[in-house]
Amino acid sequence: MLHTVSYVLLNGVGGAVLTYVGARIATGVFFVFSGYHKLTNANRRAVFVATLQASDIPFIPFMQWFVPGVEFLGGLGVAFGFLTPLAALGLATICLVAACTDGMPRVRASGAIDRVDVIDDVLYLPEVLYMVLLALFVANGAGPFSLDAILSRYL
């Protein structure tokens, strides 16, 4: 019994593959929904355009469609595990731009008490968490339960 407890405490309970698949699907679905709403809902698109304008993003007539298109299609790619490293890289790029242009002004406005608090606030940004998850998918691919795994059997 003690051996089992120490093993679990040091090595975890297992099931990393299923956890990875769950994280991949949840991340992909988030981006699918986010992109879909910006593409199809006029109010969401207006809020997004206002954010682009406030962040001084150029080419707004193009970007208001391009960014949610990448979110939607990249999210599908990540969720289904299709061309996952490419899809995740595209989404991570969007998150990086969003963190730098929209997230960092929020961090600066938060009134951090010291430099450690600034780091804490940056790490609290959802864009940063998504970049970390997406970096895993860029580095490791989709895993065994994916369209990429099926395709790799034939290539």
Q: What is the mean pLDDT of residues 82-94?
A: 98
Does the structure show a pLDDT above 70 at 44? yes
What pLDDT, on the 0 to 100 scale, is given for residue 131? 98
Q: What is d(CA 120, CA 70) in angstroms, rounded to the nearest whole number?
A: 29
- What tokens does 19 get? 């956890």
Q: Is residue 9 part of a domain?
A: no
- What tokens does 58 get? 């150029």
Instruction: Share the mean pLDDT of the chain.
Output: 95
What pLDDT, on the 0 to 100 scale, is given for residue 15? 86
What is the tally of structural domains in the chain? Answer: 1
Does the structure show a pLDDT above 80 at 129? yes
- Ranking 2-6, 93-97, 105-109, 131-135 by mean pLDDT, the lowest is 2-6
> Distances in Å between the alpha carbon of 142 and those of 39, 91, 138?
26, 14, 8
DSSP, residue by residue, the chain = -HHHHHHHHHH--S-HHHHHHHHHHHHHHHHHHHHHHHHH-HHHHHHHHHHHHHTT-S-HHHHHHHHHHHHHHHHHHHHHTSSHHHHHHHHHHHHHHHIIIIIHHHHHHT--SSHHHHHHHHHHSHHHHHHHHHHHHHHH-S-SSSHHHHHHHH-
What are the tens digits of pLDDT across the range 96-123? 999 999 999 999 998 889 999 999 999 9
Q: Is residue 8 part of a domain?
A: no
Q: Is residue 120 part of a domain?
A: yes
What are the tens digits of pLDDT across the range 59-77? 999 999 999 999 999 999 9
Structural domain that includes position 52:
14-154
- Of 87, 100, 90, residue with least CA distance to 127: 100
Q: Is residue 117 part of a domain?
A: yes
- What tokens does 81 get? 């595990």
- What tokens does 107 get? 């961090």
Q: Is residue 46 part of a domain?
A: yes
Q: Is residue 50 part of a domain?
A: yes
Q: What is d(CA 14, CA 8) in angstroms, rounded to the nearest whole number?
A: 8
Q: What is the mean pLDDT of residues 22-43?
A: 98
What pLDDT, on the 0 to 100 scale, is given for residue 114? 94
Q: Is residue 140 part of a domain?
A: yes
Percent of all residues in the chain with a pLDDT value above 70, rounded to a whole number: 98
Q: Is residue 103 part of a domain?
A: yes
What pLDDT, on the 0 to 100 scale, is given for residue 120? 95
Contact call for residues 39 and 45 (beta carbons, < 8 A): yes
Position 2 confidence tier, pLDDT thresholds 50, 70, 90 = low
What pLDDT, on the 0 to 100 scale, is given for residue 4? 86
